[in-house]
Amino acid sequence: MIFMDQEGTKMQAFVLQKNTTGYEHLLKENQCLTIRNPSMGENRQKVKYVHTSFKINLNPNTTVQECNEPVGAEWGFDFSPFDSIVDDPQDDSKSFKSPIDVIGFVVKCLPSDDKSDNNNGKDEKKTTFILEDLQHHQIYVTLWGCYADQILDFEKNNKDEKNVVVVVQFGKYRFWGGNMYVSNLYNVTRVLINSEVKEIMDFKKRMAHYENPLTPKKRDWIIRKSQEKIGTSTSKEVIVNKESQEIGKNPPWEDELDEKWSDLYMLATTTVNLDP
């Protein structure tokens, strides 16, 4: 378990099944508790779910009661900016580090199928997608098992959704080939997709001012389309007007640029030179 206090500090907690008599039904997510007489010690587990180095043990003398006045943040996110995590050349790139919380919008889902792959000795379904933050930094996210199903089900049921924001909490990460990869940490991870939580809604509001930078492929496509529309215009250059706030919001599930979005990818003050 992971406990969080009113200041947002998180600790791993452990309890033997035999010690939960009387309060086992209270040990559930988002339940506010009053805990008395626990013991504390150093957390020597190799894989840690939180940043603190101590753990809480609920022993036979511990009492747990429901608290009817929730305190602190509901989710306790601790998001890491994508550019704040840097690769350490001295580290073994095969080893994951944990934990990490990230938030971003999906810019692309890599092809996936129903075939399972090996994850920690188990055959599980997986899916990989690219998350981008508002500063245009990107990371890869690979989710396994039920977390992969969560993404694939959302994709299946929301094919026309253009702005997909994903939160991965209590994940793990490593660098490979110069790129950062985030994955679920066993079954501890929490994944939220376009959920009605404050952090995601705030992120989407900030996305309203986001403009996806033109890649060479998209720019060439815009120039070609502009030339087709203008024909034999004698003007040396054309100022392409921004006609929608939906710039760069093609559904991330689509790999190619759909022609129906032609006007939406034209940025204000973009200058298109028509000279050969």
Does the pLDDT value for residue 166 go beyond 70? yes
In a shared domain, residues 88 and 198: yes
Q: Which of 159, 174, 207 is the last residue of a domain?
A: 207
Residues sharing a CB contact under 8 Å with residue 215, sequence separation 6 or more, in sequence order = none
So what's the pLDDT on residue 165? 96
Flag the least confident range among 25-34, 87-96, 120-129, 174-183.
87-96
Q: How far apart are CA 179 and CA 275, in angstroms?
A: 39
Q: How confident is the model at residue 252 (pLDDT cuts 50, 70, 90)?
A: low
In this prediction, residue 100 has a pLDDT band, given cuts at 50, 70 and 90, of very high
Residues 24 and 60 placed together within one structural domain of the fold: yes
Q: Are residues 148 and 239 in the same domain?
A: no
Owning domain of residue 14: 2-66
**Residue 160: partners with Cβ closer than 8 Å, 6 or more residues away:** 251
Q: Are residues 247 and 174 in the same domain?
A: no
Q: Does the structure show a pLDDT above 90 at 69?
A: no
Answer yes or no: do 94 and 203 share one domain: yes
Same domain? 134 vs 199: yes
Residue 53 shares a structural domain with residue 94: no
**pLDDT at residue 258, rounded to an integer:** 44
Q: What would the DSSP string read from start to end of 184-243?
A: E-TTT-EEEES-S-HHHHHHHHHHTT--PPPPHHHHHHHHHHHHHHH-S---SEEEEPP-
**71, part of any domain:** no
Q: Do residues 247 and 198 share a domain?
A: no
**Residue 75 covered by a domain:** no
Residue 187 above 70 pLDDT? yes
With a pLDDT cut of 70, the percent of the chain lying above it is 68
pLDDT, tens digit, 9 for 90 and up, residues 9-28: 899 999 988 888 888 888 98
Say whether both 103 and 197 belong to one domain: yes
How many domains is the chain built from?
A: 3
- Asked if residue 77 belongs to a domain, the reply is no
- pLDDT of res. 29: 86
* Inside any domain, residue 9: yes
DSSP class per residue in 174-195: EEETTEEEEEE-TTT-EEEES-
The residues facing 169 across adjacent strands are: 190
* Amino acid 222: pLDDT: 58
Look at residue 144 and tell me if it is in a domain: yes
Regarding whether 97 and 203 lie in a shared domain, the answer is yes
Question: Is there a domain that residue 76 lies in?
Answer: no
Tokens 């080893």 locate to 95
Residue 72 lies in a domain: no
- Phi and psi at 20, nearest 5°, equal -95, 5
Confidence of residue 225 (pLDDT cuts 50, 70, 90): low
- In the listed set 186, 207, 228, which residue is the last one of a domain according to the structure? 207
Q: Is residue 60 scored above 80 in pLDDT?
A: yes
Is 107 a domain residue? yes
Q: Both 97 and 173 in a single domain?
A: yes
In this structure, the answer to whether residues 58 and 117 fall within a common structural domain is no
- Confidence at residue 75, expressed as pLDDT on a 0 to 100 scale: 87
